[in-house]
């Protein structure tokens, strides 16, 4: 394994993507084979990052929540196919009839039919979120199970189910049932604890206009901690990865059955032509003969990716202390080195095609979710461009419904009701964005 190639590429990424600090660790069958800190945890003090440095993990938290739910299913407290209202009687989504159609399975797979909602981090009790969802007007994508689209507000309701059957606050339940048994003692949901711990990174957002890093406060998140509240280190995350590699066992103790754990990494719903979503994991079933199971995360001052390759016993964790970094690319670099593949190998290789101008015009428009993500497709000089967060990116045409962001290597898929019609939605960054103009 040539980790020097990885480290050289990592240094280039840090300069190009303005990453102040990052940590990467890889284990094989529970033994750490690579661990390294890069850059600094604090720009002012220049404190170096180590493999024990604590970062936010953001949506990597979601698989911890899913694990708690499948554990409750194993205990007979619920079935994953149960209607949500059987366990949360006040659960209601306007325009869905019958409500029994929405199952726990749909919460776990982001397939309730809800589009991303406006974040309400002021809500601190999950029952308040039940009221919020019930009172809002929603642009439904389709029937439950028909479309995949990230919806943090639906996913966090799993926390209410956990609280109901454990009799404890969500964060206390997960700490006692998952973090502590896995000896993840440098992992916490508590911002108060973070301030008392040593070797903790400072979160940043890079200001491209001024060319400087802007320090961020640790977000309190409110109910969104159910999908993004853990702060951890790459070494602690490898302990978590060991649970999946050992099929539910940690240090000789079976914490969850291999049968229930396997449900989390089964391909439940399609994301794109290469990948699927399981229970809080993205699954790529055939990457050079092995399976990639992973999940990323992003918050102000956080970009993360964690996952494993079950056939090879590999677990890989990547954490950084800045927003809008493609940590999944770093993660795949590390996986490639561990597998002995070329470091630049990627999951999807699509070639560009040409379309007549009238077909290109179909893509033009603005697509936006209430959560805040906005995408504008324009044509300039007979070429397609995407405007995302005040940055314009050139696009290639992969298929008649898929465009490729050339600079970032990211696909944007469009959904059409009729062949000649404008798209009704665009799929970008795991989210369905309805067309608004």
280 and 363 belong to one structural domain: no
369 and 292 belong to one structural domain: no
Lowest-confidence region among 1-5, 77-81, 159-163: 1-5
Tens of pLDDT, residue by residue over 273-282, are 889 999 999 9
pLDDT class of 223 with cuts at 50, 70, 90? very high
Tens of pLDDT, residue by residue over 174-186, are 999 999 999 999 9
Domain boundary residue, one of 349, 373, 389: 349
Which pLDDT does position 282 carry in this prediction? 98
Domain boundary residue, one of 320, 349, 378: 349
pLDDT class of 389 with cuts at 50, 70, 90? confident
Give the domain extent around 99: 1-349
Query: In this model, does residue 373 exceed pLDDT 80?
Result: yes
Which pLDDT does position 409 carry in this prediction? 75
The pLDDT > 90 percentage for the chain reads 91
244 and 382 belong to one structural domain: no
Gap between the Cα atoms of 114 and 108, Å rounded: 13
403 and 344 belong to one structural domain: no
41 and 95 belong to one structural domain: yes
Rounded (10°) CA dihedral 199, 316, 259, 144: 90
Tens of pLDDT, residue by residue over 165-174, are 999 999 999 9
Q: Compute the average pLDDT of residues 385-399.
A: 92
CA angle 121, 123, 128 (to 5 degrees): 145
121 and 254 belong to one structural domain: yes
pLDDT class of 390 with cuts at 50, 70, 90? confident
Gap between the Cα atoms of 280 and 278, Å rounded: 6
257 and 373 belong to one structural domain: no
276 and 394 belong to one structural domain: no
Q: What is the pTM of this model?
A: 0.96
Which pLDDT does position 20 carry in this prediction? 98
Which pLDDT does position 199 carry in this prediction? 98
- Measured in degrees and rounded to the nearest 5, phi and psi for residue 332 equal -70, -35
Other residues' Cβ atoms within 10 Å of the Cβ of residue 226 = 28
Give me the number of domains the chain comprises.
2
Domain boundary residue, one of 304, 322, 349: 349
332 and 406 belong to one structural domain: no
Which pLDDT does position 1 carry in this prediction? 82
Tens of pLDDT, residue by residue over 52-76, are 999 999 999 999 999 999 999 999 9
329 and 372 belong to one structural domain: no
Other residues' Cβ atoms within 10 Å of the Cβ of residue 390 = 8
User: CATH code at 77?
Assistant: 3.40.710.10
Tens of pLDDT, residue by residue over 155-165, are 999 999 999 99
pLDDT class of 200 with cuts at 50, 70, 90? very high
Query: In this model, does residue 17 exceed pLDDT 80?
Result: yes
Contact 39, 47 (CB under 8 A): no
300 and 402 belong to one structural domain: no
Q: What is the DSSP string of 216-259?
A: -PPP--GGGHHHH--EE-HHHHHHHHHHHHTTTEETTEESS-HH
244 and 292 belong to one structural domain: yes
Contact 155, 161 (CB under 8 A): no
Mean residue pLDDT across the chain: 95
Which pLDDT does position 119 carry in this prediction? 95
Coil vs helix vs strand at 368: strand
């Amino acid at each position: 394994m040539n980790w020097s190639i990885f480290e050289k590429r990592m240094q280039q990424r840090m300069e190009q993507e303005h990453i102040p600090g990052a940590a990467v660790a890889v284990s094989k069958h529970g033994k750490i084979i690579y661990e390294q800190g890069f850059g600094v945890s604090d720009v002012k003090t220049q404190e170096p990052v180590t493999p024990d440095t604590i970062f936010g993990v953001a949506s990597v938290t979601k698989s911890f929540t899913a694990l708690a739910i499948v554990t409750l299913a194993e205990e007979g407290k619920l079935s994953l196919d149960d209607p949500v209202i059987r366990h949360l009687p006040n659960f209601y989504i306007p325009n869905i009839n019958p409500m029994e159609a929405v199952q726990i399975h749909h919460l776990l797979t982001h397939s309730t039919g809800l589009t991303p909602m406006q974040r309400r981090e002021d809500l601190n009790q999950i029952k308040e979120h039940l009221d919020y969802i019930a009172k809002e007007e929603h642009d439904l994508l389709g029937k439950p199970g028909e479309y995949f689209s990230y919806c943090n507000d639906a996913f966090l309701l799993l926390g209410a189910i956990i609280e109901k059957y454990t009799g404890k606050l969500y964060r206390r339940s997960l700490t006692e049932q998952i973090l502590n048994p896995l000896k993840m003692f440098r992992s916490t949901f508590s911002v108060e604890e973070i301030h008392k711990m040593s070797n903790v990174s400072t979160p940043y957002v890079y200001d491209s206009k001024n060319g400087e890093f802007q320090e961020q406060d640790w977000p309190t998140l409110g109910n969104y901690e159910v999908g993004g509240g853990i702060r951890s280190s790459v070494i602690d995350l490898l302990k978590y990865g060991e649970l999946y590699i050992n099929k539910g066992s940690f240090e000789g103790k079976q914490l969850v059955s291999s049968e229930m754990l396997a449900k989390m990494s089964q391909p439940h719903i399609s994301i794109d032509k290469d990948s699927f979503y399981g229970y809080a994991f993205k699954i790529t079933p055939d990457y050079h003969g092995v399976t990639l199971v992973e999940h990323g995360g992003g918050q102000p001052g956080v970009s993360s990716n964690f996952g494993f390759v079950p056939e090879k016993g590999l677990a890989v964790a990547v954490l950084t202390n800045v927003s809008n970094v493609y940590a999944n690319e770093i993660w795949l670099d590390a996986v490639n080195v561990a597998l002995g593949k070329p470091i630049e190998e990627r999951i999807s290789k699509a070639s560009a095609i040409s379309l007549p101008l009238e077909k290109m015009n179909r893509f033009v428009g603005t697509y936006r979710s209430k959560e805040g993500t906005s995408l504008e497709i324009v044509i300039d000089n007979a070429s397609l461009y995407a405007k995302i967060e005040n940055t314009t990116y050139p696009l290639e045409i992969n298929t008649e419904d898929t465009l490729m962001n050339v600079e970032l290597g990211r696909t944007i898929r469009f959904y059409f009701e009729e062949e000649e019609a404008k798209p009704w939605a665009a799929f970008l960054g795991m989210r369905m964005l309805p067309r608004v103009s």
